[in-house]
Structure 1
Amino acid sequence: MELSQKGLDLIKSFEGLRLKAYKAVSTEKYYTIGYGHYGSDVKENAVITKERAEQLLKQDCGSFVKAVNQMVKVKLTQNQFDALVSFTYNCGAGALQRSDLLKYLNEGDYKKAAAELPRWNKSGDKVLAGLVKRRAKEMELFLSDVAEEKEEPKKEVKSNEQKETVETYIVVSSVPGYVNAADAKSKKNKKATVKAGTYYVFNESQGMVNVTSKKGVPGNWINPSENVNEEFYYVKSGDTVSGIAAKEKTTVANIKKLNQQIKNINLIYPNQKIRVK
């Protein structure tokens, strides 16, 4: 790839134009001139034209364009390429080569790579406002072509439907009682409602436990907040109240007393939950 005019203008905006040789720091070995051209060819008191400064800039950019092309192994957009050349022009090819920025980029993580740019804002362990501004502009340019991750629309879950994302855990204990919400969520099973080898699921949105005899097949929802001393029976096809009473070793009168919310205890239907103790 080649540096675009937009990328060249970005570098020029931050380097600034100086037609007379200078030293940004007195301890520097060589002088700087034009758009940040630095080296042994720049002599003290040297003066150049704007046209010569443009030539030197394009000449210098050539080596950094080559460095980015050689080091980056993933596909880049023009904006991403321009941002990286600007960074390399300022910090050097060696900095790019040893940076986590390049590492993350070659792993295909464009956003993580871009997040490394602001870290290169110091000179002599001192944060410089100019570098902070430059890195921010390079980061903005780099990310301008990175697609934003769109959130998938959340599916509305009806109260009588099992949430698709519920997790299923196998019951490993047959201790009587109820699986409470905390145990289900942490995958513990100190209390179970069914025999070992069957399954239960936990619906986090409803705070309910669903007991099922087969993984992936909805069963009966149980409220973990219910009293663990209470016992319930789920009506099966063909069941009668007297038959349930005999099976659970209780009486019809007791079942009627425990289920006063049911107007007619004799009118029961499959999968209905009734309290038996």
Structure 2
Amino acid sequence: MQMTAKKMSDRGLLALVRHEGIVPGPYRDVKQVWTFGIGHTAAAGAPDPAAMPRGMPANLDAGIREAFGVSRADLARYEATILRAVKVPLEPHEFDALVSFHYNTGGISKAALTRHLNAGDRAVAAAAFMGWLKPAAIRPRREAERDLFATGRYPAGTIPVWSVDRSGRVDFSRPIRRLTEDEALALLRPASVPVPRPSVPAATPEPAIGWLARLSAFFSTLIRRA
């Protein structure tokens, strides 16, 4: 087994963003906390979404790039917590799944899956992802994290970009844009970094973004605030 990765892979970040979606302007979450991009709040550090220009950016690509950059910085503390909590080596896809889980729940240090993983029982650890199903709409995300951990199969499909008005209200009725994986990687990485196309297991088909998926994304921020 490889040594544990020190940070989430680019494909892992895109898997997380498929669950969260991107709002490239400051918005108010379900608790009316000013938020930006991929769930970033002032509690995580700069920038302070409340002080950012309101509404959609004039350059959408630049706004998405900023959201990715801020998210990368935010993930560092989640990655560090996992490295402290997990005592066994992890494959990159396992680490990616745990970062997504912890980013959503904040529960890696107390989760049964961590205890089973440290005891060497990966199968039971994978099943234990499904012990975190509140609210019920989060089930598809938890299943995807479990499958990524167990099989290395990253979710497929486009990444929704949601629009926001100057009052901070997000329009979840229809994405303003859907990023393909190649488009997202191009915005995530510097232009000089090539985008490799590794051989990976067959990807999970893209689910339709219906009311349940939008509700799941909407509750993701609420769970992290709880």
Q: Into which bin does the TM-score normalised by the smaller protein fall?
A: 0.5 to 0.7
**1:108 aligns to what SS in structure 2?**
coil
1:144 corresponding residue in structure 2: 151
Distance in 2 (CA, whole Å) between partners of 1:82 and 1:46 is 32
The answer to whether residue 115 in structure 2 is matched with residue 103 in structure 1 is yes
Aligned equivalents of 1:101, 1:42: Cα separation in 2: 34
Q: Map 1:200-215 to 2 at 5 A.
A: none
2:64 is matched with: 50
Secondary structure of 2:65's counterpart equals helix
Shift of 1:39: 3.0
Work out the CA distance in 2 between the residues paired with 1:11 and 1:114. 17
Match of 1:15 in 2: 20
1:70 paired with 2:70, answer no
Q: Deviations over 1:210-256 (max 9, x none)?
A: xxxxxxxxxxxxxxxxxxxxxxxxxxxxxxxxxxxxxxxxxxxxxxx
Aligned with 2:136 (options 112, 123, 127): 127
User: Unaligned stretches of 5+ in structure 1?
Assistant: 146-277
Q: Distance in 1 between matches of 2:116 and 2:98?
A: 13
Q: Which amino acid aligns with 2:108?
A: L
TM-score (norm 1): 0.46
The TM-score normalised by the length of structure 2 is 0.56
Answer with 1 or 2: which has the greater Rg: 1
- Quick one: percent identity of the two aligned structures? 32
C-alpha distance in 1 between matches for 2:145 and 2:93: 9
In the alignment, the residues of structure 2 paired with residue 108 and residue 46 of structure 1 have an alpha-carbon distance, to the nearest angstrom, of 48
Show the counterpart of 1:85.
Answer: 99
Cα distance between partner residues in 2 of 1:23 and 1:136: 28
More strand, by proportion: 1
- Runs of 5+ consecutive residues of structure 2 not aligned to the other structure: 58-62, 153-226
C-alpha separation between the residues in 2 aligned to 1:90 and 1:39? Answer: 17
What are the Cα deviations for residues 123-143 of structure 1, in whole angstroms up to 9, with x where unaligned? xxx422xx1111111101111
Superposed CA RMSD: 1.8
Q: Name the counterpart of 2:214.
A: none
Summarize deviations over 1:173-221 as a string: whole Å, max 9, x none.
xxxxxxxxxxxxxxxxxxxxxxxxxxxxxxxxxxxxxxxxxxxxxxxxx
Say yes or no: does 1:118 pair with 2:130.
yes
Secondary structure, counterpart of 1:96 in structure 2: coil
Q: Which residue does the alignment assign to 1:269?
A: none
Work out the CA distance in 1 between the residues paired with 2:92 and 2:54. Answer: 35
1:115, 1:46 → 2: CA distance? 42
| Bigger helix share | 2
Superposition deviation, residue 20 in structure 1: 2.3
